[in-house]
Structure 1
Amino acid sequence: MIPRRSILVAASGTLTGVIALAVSEPALHVVQIETTPNGFTSSPRGWNSFGIQDNPNTTPGFSFNQTGVISQCDVLAKTTALKGAGYVYCSLDSGWSVGSNGDEFGRIIYDSSIFDIPSLASHLHAEGLLLGVYVVPGAFIADEAKTIFGTSVTIGSVCSGDNGLSRCNFDYSQPAVQEWHNSVVNQFASWGVDFIKLDFVTPGSPSNNVNLPPDLSGEVVAYHEAIAQSGREIRLDISWKLDRSQEYFDIWETNADSMRTDQDINNCGESTFVSWEVVQRAIDNYRQYITTVMLYNTTLTIYPDMDNLFVGNPASVSGVTDDERQTIMTHWLGAGANLIIGSDLTNLDAFGLNLLADADAIAIGDFTSHHPMQPRNPGTGLPSSQQLQAWIAGPDESGAAVVIIANYGPDEGQGGFGTSLSGVQTIRVSWDDLGISGEFEVHDVWANKDLGAESSSLTLQLGEGQSVLYKLTQS
């Protein structure tokens, strides 16, 4: 039985006297993630090119081409700690394909001036890695007169208009639309593609100066069905900041393997990758996501994608302090989120490598792949956005749990909590707050230190941007 502690709250007003309101911590409902629609039981780990593409000053000398990508991804293959931790996806973001037209059947084709995708896939596979590619909705407007592979139907008869991305908008009620998606994914499969990132999905994606239709959920369904018929194991990640209402979440989690919970978090065109203000936003968007979808079901079949991890490089390149880098990694781990590195892999420092590959921390990620964290406010157990925050993942059947406690520092404008507590803060989190009871052995994961047995609460002091990651094992 989860304990519920009553609290008396005094509320005074124009009436004489004091009204006592009974308040109690909400019961803990453990969240689980089961097998995804395309058959995966963990979130992906690897590297994606977008952070460097969008912030080229962070990585002097990098070119977005086959040589440049191999120079990054070979680090995954040759760094024992990273490969052993499961970082195997090498994912190309926008720009790898021809941007104005497809092949004779209107299928997406690679830009042969910078990539040979089958050759790249072969290289990666030989190194024990996997290949990801980026796509957006629709077929090319320039290809409307072409016939869909295996049919007598022209693209223009089932796809029209302009979504602002040089693509037309499909009529998903037409069977030939699925045939187009099948032809594209089958060609990807023949090249050796293992991961598809589908961007600009609506409802959810901001207009971003394009002309997206209000509902592109049919694109997600079509790619899922195309993957299913391809005979190849391929992940589907959908983006960005997708609608969390039950109507659409049901579509996302029955067709995709992971979904973006926020917009891009990287800086644009700067010499650092990310700012703490945007990280605060990303953490709050995950909080909104998990507390919303828990209302529908606490057994999920999709992983959260909190965007790329920018923790691998020194603070001068990452754009955040070492404490903040650790807090980022802690929250991505706690959420069971995609661990797709956006950093320059050729410039990892020792601290960044340890964050990404520490064996005990990766074990936490394995745990939260089945039991993602949820917020439990210190003092109430509520899920509100707060500067001084606690989270719990689990407990699982054995009674093991993961607890995260953080001081996010003053809200820099997008954190959602609006407070500005400065300096070191004392945080007390009770077992009632977390929704658990009993005695637990507490292990500090990053310090690799056993803190002994606790049976009622945790009290600690954290500076701005600091957090702790604890593994609790029932005594």
Structure 2
Amino acid sequence: MMISRYSILAAATGAWVILAAAGPVLEVVQIETTPNGFTSSPRGWNSFGIQANPNTTPGFSFNQTGVLSQCDVLAKTTALKDAGYIYCSLDSGWSVGGNGDEFGRIIYDSSIFDIPSLASHLHAEGLLLGVYVVPGAFIADEAKTILGTNVAIGSVCSGDNGLARCNFDYSQPAVQEWHNSVVNQFASWGVDFIKLDFITPGSPANGVNLPPDSSGEVIAYHQAIAQSGRDMRLDISWKLDRSQKYFDIWETNADSMRTDQDINNGGASTFVSWEVVQRAIDNYRQYITTVTAYNTTLTIYPDMDNLFVGNPASVSGVTDDERQTIMTHWLGAGANLIVGSDLTSLDGLGLNLLTNPNAIAIADFTAHYPMQPRNPGSGLANSQQLQAWIAGPDASGAAVVIIANYGPDEGQGGFGTSLSGMQTISVSWDDLGINGTFDVHDVWADKDLGAESSGLSDVRDLSKAE
């Protein structure tokens, strides 16, 4: 395993020019207002990592008390709240798993949660509530009538998707009425965020029986949110199909979409492992290069999965260098900053990674200009050990550049396998597709590097690799 070394830098100048450099012409990628009206990706906390990895957080119980012990940290830690970490999101298990109410609507498990009171508590603290759902109505509810109609659920929903639910026929108007009734009830409880999981095409089977195409569910939830009268985000997952046909559906109905499968170590004593995180980073590379071939102005944010950077290496499962590298890539992508760490045990590095004012300024920038790969020596977008990325420039000439030095290529790309000496990664303005003199600031070091007219470099001591 190699520790990564990198620089994340904001570079600004009064003027810039896009060049036809060694690689393809730089086309600046932008993200505009999402379908439900948002202009940034969400920041907050989600329960899934702790639920799936209980050994990381001894004593945590997935109930109202346990969740508030985590989310109250967001409210009481000024740096987190000021940085915009306001969503408290429940993952699977908050709702009754086998049936709905008399109209087949999703209901909370009152033995562990009182959702309206949870929402009221969070709202009083300036936080927002998220809930988790999956496609379909309950098979057990097929004889029930959809609220406001005389239509039985079973007449528009059939089969078994393996999640105790049937599959909707989205061509039937009553299906939208069911979704409206569910989201209206969410709105009455005070829900602010919906995570819609197991969407196809894209989501892996994961031992269930998903239909090949449940994109109609995304459309139905979007329309239900629009008529509810309440602002709500819609985040869809897992690793979703990126073909133009389906990407058009995702970005015209959802606010963020998963670009990879789960990255946590299910059931382990640590949250993540570096090789899986690096897979998620490369999946973002594949995602952004694929979808910007259709259009460089997007209306959806990438969800690279939860951030597990808040706790020490013994709990996170990654070194401190790797934690910083993870945060760097999530920031550069303009991705969801939804923390999966144990908020009650944040260490100093974790808190700084999540709240560093310079880093949050980068997140605010990439919310409008997400990064795209422009590798050293070519300006191309392929995966390699020595990587470079650029976000922007914006109209003022400001840009964000990330250079990632992942060490020797172990014989697969000509970088060698020796673990001695120094290795330098350099990226030119030509590689990045820009030209001019830039005043460069190293964000993590909070250090001005002065004016640069040609490019950037980072040096790594290979003898310190792990």
Same fold (TM over 0.5): yes
Cα distance in 2 between the residues matched to 1:245 and 1:422: 40
- Measured at CA, do residues 418 and 60 of structure 1 come closer, stay the same or move farther in structure 2, by a change above 3 Å? farther
| Counterpart secondary structure, 2:192 | strand
Structure 1 residue identity aligned to 2:43? R
In structure 2, how many angstroms separate the alpha carbons of the residues matched to 1:343 and 1:378? 33
SS in 1 for 2:448: strand
Report if the CA contact (8 A) 1:66-1:116 is conserved. Answer: yes
How many Å separate the matches in 2 of 1:313 and 1:407? Answer: 24
Task: Show the 5 A alignment for 1:412-427.
Answer: 421=417, 423=419, 424-427=422-425
Match in the other structure for 2:18: 2
Q: Partner residue of 1:334?
A: 332
The offset of 1:25, in angstroms, is 1.7
Q: In 1, are the aligned partners of 2:309 and 2:316 still within 8 Å (CA)?
A: yes
**CA shift in 2, pair 1:417/1:81, >3 Å:** farther
User: Is this contact kept in 2: 1:409–1:463, CA < 8 A?
Assistant: no
Q: Deviations over 1:121-145 (max 9, x none)?
A: 0000000000000000000000000
> Over residues 145-203 of structure 1, what are the superposed CA-to-partner deviations in whole Å (9 max), with x where a residue is unaligned?
00000000000000000000000000000000000000000000000000000000000
Deviation at 1:303, TM superposition (A): 0.2
> Which residue does the alignment assign to 1:395?
393
Q: What SS class does the counterpart of residue 193 from structure 1 fall into?
A: coil
TM-score with structure 2 setting the length: 0.93
**Distance across 1 between alignment mates of 2:214 and 2:144:** 23
Q: Which runs of 5+ in 2 are unaligned?
A: 1-16
Shift of 1:310: 0.2
The change in CA–CA distance for 1:457 and 1:201 in structure 2 (over 3 A counts) is: same
CA distance in 2, matches of 1:212, 1:268: 21
Q: For residue 302 of structure 2, what is the aligned residue in structure 1?
A: 304
The corresponding residue for 1:286 is 284
- The amino acid across from 1:317 in the alignment is V
Shift >6 Å, 4+ stretches: 416-420
8 Å CA contact 2:250–2:257 kept in 1: the answer is yes
C-alpha distance in 1 between matches for 2:413 and 2:367:
27
Shift of residue 370, structure 1, vs aligned partner:
0.0
Q: Distance in 1 between matches of 2:275 and 2:409?
A: 8
Q: Tell me the residue number matched to 2:4.
A: none
State the 1:463 CA deviation: 5.4
Q: Which of 368, 371, 374 lines up with 2:372 in the alignment? A: 374
- Describe the shift of the 1:362–1:102 C-alpha distance in structure 2 as closer, same or farther (beyond 3 A): same
The letter of the residue matching 1:187 is Q
Alpha-carbon distance between aligned partners in 1 of 2:416 and 2:168, rounded to the nearest angstrom: 48
CA contact 1:147–1:153 (8 Å) conserved in 2: yes
Count of residue pairs the alignment pairs up: 446
On the 8 A contact 2:20/2:26 being kept in 1, the answer is no
Q: Which residue of 1 aligns with 2:361?
A: 363
Aligned AA for 1:206? P
State the Cα distance separating 1:407 from its structure 2 match: 1.9
Aligned counterparts of 1:461 and 1:310: Cα–Cα separation in 2: 26
User: Residues 175, 379 of structure 1: CA spacing in aligned structure 2 closer, same or farther, 3 A cutoff?
Assistant: same
Residue matched to 1:38? 36
8 Å CA contact 1:35–1:41 kept in 2: the answer is yes
Aligned partner of 2:239 among 232, 238, 241: 241
Distance 1:219 1:437, change over 3 A: same
Write the distance in 2 (CA, Å) between the matches of 1:220 and 1:386: 35
Structure 1 CA distance, aligned partners of 2:374 and 2:427?
A: 9
Share of identical aligned residues, percent? Answer: 85
1:151 matched to 2:185? The reply is no
Aligned-pair RMSD on alpha carbons? 1.8
- What is aligned with 1:55? 53
User: Which residue in 1 is equivalent to 2:270?
Assistant: 272
Q: Post-superposition shift, 1:420?
A: 7.0
Counterpart residue type for residue 127 of structure 2 = L
1:410–1:419 contact (8 Å) kept in structure 2: yes
2:8 alignment counterpart: none
Q: Which residue is equivalent to 2:348?
A: 350
- Aligned position for 1:26: 24
Aligned residues of 2:80 and 2:354 also touching (Cα < 8 A): yes
Distance 2:416 2:194 in 1: 40
- Which residue type is aligned with residue 25 of structure 2? A
Unpaired stretches in structure 1, ≥5 consecutive residues: 6-23, 467-475
Distance 1:136 1:115 in 2: 19
Measured after TM superposition, the shift of residue 26 of structure 1 is 1.0
Task: Tell me which residue corresponds to 1:260.
Answer: 258
Structure 1 pair 268–151 and aligned structure 2 pair: CA distance change class (3 A) = same
Paired position in structure 2 for 1:163: 161
| Rounded Cα–Cα distance in structure 2 between residues aligned with 1:309 and 1:275 | 12
